[in-house]
Amino acid sequence: MNVNRLISAAPGPRERRLAETFLRRFGDREGAGPFSGPGRTEIGGNHTDHQHGHVLCASVDVDILACAAPNGTDTVRILSDGYPEFAVDLSDLAPRAAERGTPAGLVRGVAEGLYKLGVRPVGFDACCVSAVPAGSGLSSSAAFEVLVGAIFNEFTGAALDSVALAKLGQYAENVHFGKPCGLMDQMGCAVGGAVAIDFADPQSPAVEPVGYDFARSGHALCVTDTRSDHAGLTDAYAAIPREMAAVAGYFGKDFLRQVPEAEFEAALPALRAACGDRAVLRAMHFYGDDRRAVLEAEALKNGDFPAFLELVNESGRSSESLLQNIFPPSGPRAQAVGLALALGRRALHGRGAVRVHGGGFAGTVQAFVPEELVPVFKLTLERVFGEGACHVLHVRRDGAGRVM
């Protein structure tokens, strides 16, 4: 399909405007298509993936949308709404220091990951527009990574599955972008729908679609961005996997998933002396939340939403008291996540569920809100954190790929 036909076939104004932008910048082109990389929400398993545990996550109905077409060169050119255009030369895929922390680094990283799989990446032009709010905890970087992977996948004919696309994104973020993330974010964006993931073997994670229709639950999924400052929190985030690994190391293992919980419990007195109480508490959280992520998926598959909500609340309390990723270590004045949780619980009046979302310390909280309480919940949170801070979302069935 050429771009002019794409414009006439566009299902909505957003898609039409994007195709028109492509036409103005890059001209009419055969082989053009719309591609989408959705954001994701973490539902269960807070800080369990890096210990090879279980998680429950889902793609959501905010995405990065692209109009893209092959250009017959070894260069990728991307123009994103609100950002300067950039280009990536595919003839040299080695990581570049100047591209760390940039979208160009992610594109080069995905291309190199593809090359390592034996697929020669090809150049393309793309215009992008994002509906994934930056800093919202919905993983805009992973959405972009799997979007780029999906475009390469289409134009090279590589026929990679969603798990392979997620791994390309993780490789790009780890090696070229400079962020040592796990695979959960990319899997949530790439696969689509709610999925239960077992990371016992991170190179070949077990992915099981849950298949629950959240639309019939009578609850809305709300993610609130506290708009708090992430600066200076790198060490706080890094301390969580480091301390969990220290507990595993006491047993001669690399990850807590390799240590039976009974052995951990039996060694508590010695672990306190060897690793410290906070490391022990964080390990306790891992075992509990790893188990809860499995039970949450089972509750959804069985259609038992009340049991699911109870488990979500248990997970939230565990993150606060055991994992301790609610309050940043910078001082008592900055406690936006704790405040958002308190306000959310007040608005829910004992109904629904609310928990920290993602890494913690700053950022977002997640809530499952009875539909009739959504207006007051949104008003309560946005009165403190600002208009537009509370995002009402829906679980999206499809993962990253070509759309229309």
Please state the φ and ψ torsions of residue 340, each to the nearest 5 degrees: -65, -40
Mean pLDDT, rounded, for 202-225:
91
Q: Give pLDDT tens digits for 88-108.
A: 999 999 999 999 999 999 999
What DSSP element (H or E) covers 53? none
| Confidence category of residue 7, pLDDT binned at 50, 70, 90 | low
CB 337 within 8 A of CB 226: yes
Q: Give pLDDT tens digits for 140-190.
A: 889 999 999 999 999 999 999 998 999 999 999 999 998 877 788 898 899
**Would you say the pTM of this structure is higher than 0.75?**
yes
Please give the structure tokens belonging to residue 137: 């905890």
Q: How far is it, in rounded angstroms, from Cα 359 to Cα 236?
A: 10
Q: Is 235's pLDDT higher than 70?
A: yes
pLDDT of residue 10: 62
| Cα separations in angstroms, 169 against 37, 145, 146, 248, 401 | 11, 5, 6, 28, 14
Domains and their CATH numbers in the chain:
3-211+397-402 (3.30.230.10), 214-393 (3.30.70.890)
| Confidence category of residue 217, pLDDT binned at 50, 70, 90 | very high
Q: Give pLDDT tens digits for 304-362.
A: 999 999 999 999 999 999 999 998 887 788 899 999 999 999 999 999 999 999 888 88
The neighbouring-strand residues paired with 361 are none
Q: Is 135's pLDDT higher than 80?
A: no
pLDDT of residue 24: 92
